[in-house]
Amino acid sequence: MEPEKQKPTPLPQEEETSFWRDIVRFTLIAVCIVLPIRIFIIQPFIVSGSSMYPTFETGDYLIVDEIGYRLHEPVRGEVVIFKYPNDPSKFFIKRIIGLPGETLQSVNGTVVVKDAAGNEQTLKESYLREPPKDTFSITLTSDEYFVMGDNRAASLDSRIWGALPRHFIVGRAWTRLFPLSELSVWPGRAAQ
């Protein structure tokens, strides 16, 4: 009968090499999964400023859906995050009020939308605390949106810098994670 062979005990250096190889492998796999999700599908956004009050306040932590608008076009009433057309390094959050091809008129804060066929509707903006008393008129081209903050008195929006070209829109507010008392999916969504 042959004596039982003993397995050689690994050298400490081999154990350490195996440990670091596993760490590198895990890190690469994590980066390959997380990075594309973060770049192409969702991204975080922290609200800064009072332009969307009372719907959103400074410090609200949102997750932005970046893929939805690759499947369908933005809809009136949705809250969008976009690159500010006058400085694309800055990101803004506003509500879509006007869609491509529409004419918008506001008299004393009441917004009337006319589509290409001539049909009119007056917007019922229940998310506003104090409707502004502003007056404007604009006709949008086939790739422009009109966006405004819910706190119209404190909002730098399409009334000031003009229509928002479609290619500046990054995505829509998908989830509010913070504050926890306001945790919600599709926060701020309003049907029109």
Q: What is the mean pLDDT of the chain?
A: 85
Q: What is the pLDDT of residue 6?
A: 66
pLDDT higher than threshold 60 for residue 11: no
How far, in Å, CA of 98 to CA of 74, rounded?
10
27-38 pLDDT, tens digit per residue, is: 877 777 766 666
Q: What is the pLDDT of residue 23?
A: 83
State pTM to two decimals. Answer: 0.76
Which residues participate in catalysis according to the annotation? 51, 94
| Per-residue confidence band for 4, with pLDDT thresholds at 50, 70 and 90 | low
Alpha-carbon Rg for the chain, nearest whole angstrom, is 25
On whether the CB atoms of residues 112 and 146 are closer than 8 A, the answer is: no
Domains and CATH numbers, the chain: 40-185 (2.10.109.10)
- Residues written for the chain: 192
Number of alpha carbons in the 13 Å side-chain half-sphere of residue 142? 0
Supply the DSSP string of 112-147, one letter for each residue. EEE-TT--EEE---TT-SS-----EEEE--TTEEEE
